[in-house]
Amino acid sequence: MNSENFEKHVLFDRITQLSETLQDEKSEDKIDLEKLSYFRTALSYIDDRLKLTMPDLVQQAEMDALSNEINAAVSQINSFLGNNNVGHLTNATNNFNSALNRIRNFPIPLAKSSFNFSRKIANFEKTVKNKYNTLEKEKNKLAKEISDFQEELKKKNAKIEELTEQLKAKENQIQNLNSTFQTNFNNIQSQHNQEFKTSKETFRAEFNTVKKDFEEEIESIKSTIDTDTTKLVENLETKLEEAKRLVNVIGNVGVTGNYQNIANEHKRTANIWRVLAIIFMVILSGLLVYTIWDVSSANYDWIKSIIRIIAAAALSYL
Protein backbone atom coordinates (compact mmCIF):
# COMPACT_ATOMS: atom_id res chain seq x y z
CA MET A 1 0.00 0.00 0.00
CA ASN A 2 1.24 3.54 -0.69
CA SER A 3 2.46 5.97 1.95
CA GLU A 4 -0.67 8.15 1.83
CA ASN A 5 -3.04 5.26 2.57
CA PHE A 6 -0.67 3.97 5.24
CA GLU A 7 -0.63 7.28 7.15
CA LYS A 8 -4.42 7.72 6.88
CA HIS A 9 -5.21 4.20 8.11
CA VAL A 10 -7.58 3.96 11.08
CA LEU A 11 -4.97 1.93 12.98
CA PHE A 12 -3.17 5.11 14.10
CA ASP A 13 -6.39 6.58 15.55
CA ARG A 14 -7.00 3.41 17.52
CA ILE A 15 -3.45 3.41 18.85
CA THR A 16 -3.98 6.99 20.02
CA GLN A 17 -7.29 6.03 21.62
CA LEU A 18 -5.69 3.05 23.42
CA SER A 19 -2.80 5.22 24.62
CA GLU A 20 -5.20 7.77 26.12
CA THR A 21 -7.15 4.99 27.82
CA LEU A 22 -4.01 3.50 29.39
CA GLN A 23 -2.77 6.95 30.56
CA ASP A 24 -6.11 7.74 32.22
CA GLU A 25 -6.05 8.01 36.02
CA LYS A 26 -8.94 5.58 36.33
CA SER A 27 -6.94 2.94 34.45
CA GLU A 28 -3.95 3.48 36.73
CA ASP A 29 -6.16 2.99 39.79
CA LYS A 30 -8.02 -0.13 38.64
CA ILE A 31 -5.65 -2.07 36.35
CA ASP A 32 -3.01 -4.25 37.98
CA LEU A 33 0.48 -2.75 37.79
CA GLU A 34 1.99 -5.71 35.92
CA LYS A 35 -0.75 -5.77 33.29
CA LEU A 36 -0.77 -1.99 32.96
CA SER A 37 2.99 -1.99 32.34
CA TYR A 38 2.61 -4.79 29.81
CA PHE A 39 -0.12 -2.95 27.94
CA ARG A 40 1.85 0.29 27.79
CA THR A 41 5.10 -1.43 26.74
CA ALA A 42 3.36 -3.48 24.07
CA LEU A 43 1.56 -0.42 22.71
CA SER A 44 4.82 1.57 22.65
CA TYR A 45 6.53 -1.28 20.82
CA ILE A 46 3.73 -1.45 18.24
CA ASP A 47 3.84 2.32 17.77
CA ASP A 48 7.62 2.37 17.33
CA ARG A 49 7.46 -0.63 15.01
CA LEU A 50 4.92 1.16 12.81
CA LYS A 51 7.17 4.19 12.63
CA LEU A 52 9.95 1.95 11.24
CA THR A 53 7.67 0.04 8.85
CA MET A 54 8.12 0.51 5.09
CA PRO A 55 4.59 1.30 3.80
CA ASP A 56 5.13 0.02 0.28
CA LEU A 57 5.82 -3.47 1.58
CA VAL A 58 2.81 -3.67 3.91
CA GLN A 59 -0.47 -5.20 2.75
CA GLN A 60 -3.86 -3.66 3.45
CA ALA A 61 -5.11 -6.87 5.05
CA GLU A 62 -2.22 -6.90 7.55
CA MET A 63 -2.98 -3.33 8.60
CA ASP A 64 -6.69 -4.12 8.97
CA ALA A 65 -5.99 -7.24 11.06
CA LEU A 66 -3.64 -5.30 13.38
CA SER A 67 -6.25 -2.50 13.67
CA ASN A 68 -8.93 -5.01 14.66
CA GLU A 69 -6.73 -6.46 17.42
CA ILE A 70 -6.01 -2.98 18.83
CA ASN A 71 -9.70 -2.07 18.65
CA ALA A 72 -10.66 -5.29 20.48
CA ALA A 73 -8.10 -4.54 23.21
CA VAL A 74 -9.58 -1.03 23.67
CA SER A 75 -13.09 -2.52 24.00
CA GLN A 76 -11.99 -5.13 26.56
CA ILE A 77 -10.16 -2.54 28.72
CA ASN A 78 -13.17 -0.18 28.65
CA SER A 79 -15.43 -3.08 29.66
CA PHE A 80 -13.14 -3.85 32.60
CA LEU A 81 -13.22 -0.21 33.72
CA GLY A 82 -17.01 -0.39 33.63
CA ASN A 83 -17.74 -3.68 35.45
CA ASN A 84 -14.36 -4.68 37.06
CA ASN A 85 -14.50 -8.14 35.45
CA VAL A 86 -10.89 -9.42 35.32
CA GLY A 87 -11.78 -11.66 32.38
CA HIS A 88 -11.80 -8.59 30.14
CA LEU A 89 -8.13 -7.92 31.00
CA THR A 90 -7.30 -11.52 30.05
CA ASN A 91 -9.01 -11.00 26.69
CA ALA A 92 -7.14 -7.70 26.22
CA THR A 93 -3.85 -9.51 26.92
CA ASN A 94 -4.69 -12.05 24.22
CA ASN A 95 -5.46 -9.22 21.80
CA PHE A 96 -2.09 -7.59 22.55
CA ASN A 97 -0.30 -10.92 22.00
CA SER A 98 -1.98 -11.31 18.62
CA ALA A 99 -1.11 -7.71 17.73
CA LEU A 100 2.56 -8.28 18.66
CA ASN A 101 2.70 -11.39 16.50
CA ARG A 102 1.31 -9.40 13.58
CA ILE A 103 3.53 -6.33 14.03
CA ARG A 104 6.68 -8.53 14.04
CA ASN A 105 5.91 -9.48 10.44
CA PHE A 106 5.85 -5.87 9.27
CA PRO A 107 8.97 -5.05 7.13
CA ILE A 108 11.41 -2.62 8.75
CA PRO A 109 15.00 -1.48 7.86
CA LEU A 110 17.58 -3.61 9.66
CA ALA A 111 20.06 -0.78 10.26
CA LYS A 112 17.71 1.73 11.85
CA SER A 113 15.93 1.45 15.14
CA SER A 114 14.55 4.18 17.33
CA PHE A 115 13.41 1.88 20.15
CA ASN A 116 14.95 3.12 23.40
CA PHE A 117 14.73 0.43 26.07
CA SER A 118 16.17 2.72 28.74
CA ARG A 119 13.39 5.19 28.10
CA LYS A 120 10.87 2.40 28.45
CA ILE A 121 12.42 1.45 31.81
CA ALA A 122 12.19 5.05 32.94
CA ASN A 123 8.55 5.12 31.87
CA PHE A 124 7.98 1.90 33.77
CA GLU A 125 9.52 3.42 36.89
CA LYS A 126 7.27 6.46 36.44
CA THR A 127 4.27 4.22 36.09
CA VAL A 128 5.28 2.29 39.21
CA LYS A 129 5.77 5.54 41.12
CA ASN A 130 2.35 6.79 40.02
CA LYS A 131 0.87 3.45 40.99
CA TYR A 132 2.49 3.63 44.43
CA ASN A 133 1.22 7.17 44.89
CA THR A 134 -2.26 5.98 44.01
CA LEU A 135 -1.91 3.08 46.44
CA GLU A 136 -0.66 5.49 49.12
CA LYS A 137 -3.75 7.65 48.61
CA GLU A 138 -5.97 4.62 48.84
CA LYS A 139 -4.10 3.48 51.97
CA ASN A 140 -4.57 6.87 53.62
CA LYS A 141 -8.21 6.86 52.62
CA LEU A 142 -8.67 3.36 54.01
CA ALA A 143 -6.79 4.32 57.20
CA LYS A 144 -9.13 7.27 57.69
CA GLU A 145 -12.15 5.08 57.04
CA ILE A 146 -10.82 2.48 59.52
CA SER A 147 -10.25 5.19 62.11
CA ASP A 148 -13.75 6.55 61.58
CA PHE A 149 -15.09 3.02 61.75
CA GLN A 150 -13.25 2.40 65.03
CA GLU A 151 -14.69 5.58 66.50
CA GLU A 152 -18.13 4.56 65.35
CA LEU A 153 -17.51 1.08 66.75
CA LYS A 154 -16.59 2.54 70.15
CA LYS A 155 -19.82 4.55 70.14
CA LYS A 156 -21.78 1.45 69.18
CA ASN A 157 -20.09 -0.57 71.94
CA ALA A 158 -20.93 2.11 74.47
CA LYS A 159 -24.50 2.13 73.21
CA ILE A 160 -24.61 -1.68 73.41
CA GLU A 161 -23.34 -1.60 77.01
CA GLU A 162 -25.98 0.99 77.87
CA LEU A 163 -28.68 -1.12 76.25
CA THR A 164 -27.35 -4.20 78.08
CA GLU A 165 -27.72 -2.42 81.42
CA GLN A 166 -31.21 -1.33 80.48
CA LEU A 167 -32.06 -4.91 79.46
CA LYS A 168 -30.82 -6.19 82.82
CA ALA A 169 -32.96 -3.62 84.62
CA LYS A 170 -35.95 -4.54 82.48
CA GLU A 171 -35.30 -8.23 83.10
CA ASN A 172 -35.32 -7.67 86.87
CA GLN A 173 -38.49 -5.61 86.52
CA ILE A 174 -40.11 -8.37 84.45
CA GLN A 175 -39.13 -10.99 87.03
CA ASN A 176 -40.66 -8.88 89.81
CA LEU A 177 -43.80 -8.36 87.75
CA ASN A 178 -43.93 -12.08 87.01
CA SER A 179 -43.64 -12.93 90.70
CA THR A 180 -46.35 -10.41 91.59
CA PHE A 181 -48.54 -11.68 88.79
CA GLN A 182 -48.09 -15.29 89.89
CA THR A 183 -49.04 -14.40 93.50
CA ASN A 184 -52.09 -12.45 92.40
CA PHE A 185 -53.06 -15.19 90.02
CA ASN A 186 -52.88 -17.83 92.75
CA ASN A 187 -54.99 -15.67 95.07
CA ILE A 188 -57.55 -15.01 92.37
CA GLN A 189 -57.61 -18.68 91.46
CA SER A 190 -58.24 -19.74 95.09
CA GLN A 191 -60.94 -17.14 95.50
CA HIS A 192 -62.53 -18.11 92.22
CA ASN A 193 -62.48 -21.81 93.11
CA GLN A 194 -64.13 -21.11 96.45
CA GLU A 195 -66.77 -18.88 94.89
CA PHE A 196 -67.36 -21.43 92.16
CA LYS A 197 -67.80 -24.21 94.70
CA THR A 198 -70.25 -22.13 96.74
CA SER A 199 -72.17 -21.09 93.64
CA LYS A 200 -72.25 -24.69 92.46
CA GLU A 201 -73.73 -25.91 95.76
CA THR A 202 -76.28 -23.10 95.77
CA PHE A 203 -77.22 -23.81 92.17
CA ARG A 204 -77.56 -27.53 92.91
CA ALA A 205 -79.90 -26.86 95.84
CA GLU A 206 -82.01 -24.42 93.83
CA PHE A 207 -82.04 -26.81 90.91
CA ASN A 208 -83.25 -29.71 93.07
CA THR A 209 -86.01 -27.52 94.53
CA VAL A 210 -87.12 -26.33 91.12
CA LYS A 211 -86.91 -29.89 89.79
CA LYS A 212 -89.13 -31.22 92.58
CA ASP A 213 -91.70 -28.45 92.08
CA PHE A 214 -91.60 -29.04 88.35
CA GLU A 215 -92.17 -32.79 88.77
CA GLU A 216 -95.15 -32.17 91.07
CA GLU A 217 -96.58 -29.69 88.61
CA ILE A 218 -96.09 -32.17 85.78
CA GLU A 219 -97.90 -34.92 87.73
CA SER A 220 -100.79 -32.54 88.45
CA ILE A 221 -100.99 -31.46 84.84
CA LYS A 222 -100.79 -35.08 83.74
CA SER A 223 -103.74 -36.10 85.95
CA THR A 224 -105.75 -33.14 84.70
CA ILE A 225 -104.89 -33.97 81.12
CA ASP A 226 -105.96 -37.64 81.56
CA THR A 227 -109.33 -36.61 83.01
CA ASP A 228 -109.93 -33.95 80.41
CA THR A 229 -108.80 -36.32 77.66
CA THR A 230 -111.29 -39.01 78.71
CA LYS A 231 -114.14 -36.52 78.78
CA LEU A 232 -113.04 -35.10 75.47
CA VAL A 233 -112.93 -38.55 73.86
CA GLU A 234 -116.44 -39.32 75.11
CA ASN A 235 -117.73 -36.03 73.78
CA LEU A 236 -116.02 -36.65 70.46
CA GLU A 237 -117.58 -40.11 70.17
CA THR A 238 -121.02 -38.63 70.89
CA LYS A 239 -120.47 -35.91 68.33
CA LEU A 240 -119.24 -38.57 65.86
CA GLU A 241 -122.53 -40.52 66.14
CA GLU A 242 -124.52 -37.35 65.72
CA ALA A 243 -122.41 -36.39 62.73
CA LYS A 244 -122.92 -39.81 61.12
CA ARG A 245 -126.70 -39.53 61.45
CA LEU A 246 -126.65 -35.97 60.23
CA VAL A 247 -124.46 -36.84 57.26
CA ASN A 248 -126.72 -39.80 56.37
CA VAL A 249 -129.77 -37.60 56.36
CA ILE A 250 -128.04 -34.87 54.44
CA GLY A 251 -126.66 -37.41 51.97
CA ASN A 252 -129.99 -39.00 51.24
CA VAL A 253 -131.73 -35.70 50.78
CA GLY A 254 -128.93 -33.76 49.16
CA VAL A 255 -127.60 -36.44 46.82
CA THR A 256 -130.74 -38.36 45.78
CA GLY A 257 -133.26 -35.52 46.15
CA ASN A 258 -136.53 -36.29 44.15
CA TYR A 259 -134.90 -39.21 42.29
CA GLN A 260 -135.85 -41.66 45.03
CA ASN A 261 -139.57 -40.87 44.65
CA ILE A 262 -139.33 -41.23 40.88
CA ALA A 263 -137.50 -44.58 41.31
CA ASN A 264 -140.21 -45.88 43.65
CA GLU A 265 -142.92 -44.87 41.19
CA HIS A 266 -141.11 -46.66 38.34
CA LYS A 267 -140.75 -49.77 40.52
CA ARG A 268 -144.48 -49.97 41.12
CA THR A 269 -145.23 -49.45 37.44
CA ALA A 270 -142.65 -52.11 36.43
CA ASN A 271 -144.13 -54.66 38.87
CA ILE A 272 -147.61 -54.14 37.40
CA TRP A 273 -146.35 -54.73 33.87
CA ARG A 274 -144.37 -57.80 34.97
CA VAL A 275 -147.55 -59.38 36.43
CA LEU A 276 -149.48 -58.62 33.25
CA ALA A 277 -146.62 -60.06 31.14
CA ILE A 278 -146.59 -63.29 33.18
CA ILE A 279 -150.33 -63.71 32.83
CA PHE A 280 -150.22 -63.19 29.07
CA MET A 281 -147.24 -65.53 28.78
CA VAL A 282 -149.06 -68.31 30.67
CA ILE A 283 -152.10 -67.93 28.40
CA LEU A 284 -150.00 -67.93 25.28
CA SER A 285 -147.99 -70.92 26.47
CA GLY A 286 -151.16 -72.87 27.10
CA LEU A 287 -152.44 -72.06 23.66
CA LEU A 288 -149.11 -73.04 22.15
CA VAL A 289 -149.06 -76.39 23.94
CA TYR A 290 -152.66 -77.03 22.96
CA THR A 291 -151.81 -76.25 19.38
CA ILE A 292 -148.76 -78.51 19.36
CA TRP A 293 -150.28 -81.44 21.27
CA ASP A 294 -152.74 -82.93 18.84
CA VAL A 295 -153.93 -86.07 20.74
CA SER A 296 -156.96 -86.75 18.56
CA SER A 297 -154.94 -87.42 15.51
CA ALA A 298 -154.93 -90.99 14.25
CA ASN A 299 -151.23 -90.87 13.61
CA TYR A 300 -150.36 -89.50 17.05
CA ASP A 301 -146.66 -89.77 17.92
CA TRP A 302 -145.79 -89.48 21.58
CA ILE A 303 -142.13 -88.76 20.93
CA LYS A 304 -142.81 -85.83 18.58
CA SER A 305 -145.36 -84.42 21.01
CA ILE A 306 -142.92 -84.49 23.94
CA ILE A 307 -140.22 -82.85 21.80
CA ARG A 308 -142.70 -80.12 20.74
CA ILE A 309 -143.79 -79.53 24.36
CA ILE A 310 -140.15 -79.18 25.49
CA ALA A 311 -139.43 -76.76 22.61
CA ALA A 312 -142.58 -74.71 23.42
CA ALA A 313 -141.64 -74.57 27.12
CA ALA A 314 -138.11 -73.45 26.24
CA LEU A 315 -139.44 -70.71 23.96
CA SER A 316 -142.01 -69.47 26.49
CA TYR A 317 -139.69 -69.54 29.54
CA LEU A 318 -138.19 -66.11 28.95
Question: How many Å apart are CA 136 and CA 165, to the nearest integer?
Answer: 43
First CA to last CA across the chain, in angstroms?
156
Q: What does the DSSP assignment read for 48-74?
A: HHHHH--GGG--HHHHHHHHHHHHHHH
Q: What is the pLDDT of residues 221-250, one digit of tens each?
A: 877 777 777 787 888 888 888 877 776 666
Reported pTM? 0.38
Binned at pLDDT 50, 70 and 90, residue 121 comes out as low
Helix axes 10-23, 33-52, angle to 10 degrees: 150
Higher pLDDT, 293 or 26: 26
| pLDDT at position 138 | 81
Q: What is the pLDDT of residues 32-55, one digit of tens each?
A: 788 888 888 888 888 888 888 888
Least confident of 144-153, 166-175, 198-207: 198-207
Binned at pLDDT 50, 70 and 90, residue 311 comes out as low
| pLDDT at position 118 | 47
- Is residue 197 pLDDT above 80, yes or no? yes
Higher pLDDT, 272 or 258: 272
Q: What b/e sequence results for 99-130 when a residue is b if at least 16 CB atoms lie within 10 Å of its CB, and e otherwise?
A: beebbeebebeeeeeeeeeeebeeeeeebeeb
| pLDDT at position 269 | 92
Question: How many Å apart are CA 105 and CA 53, to the nearest integer?
Answer: 10
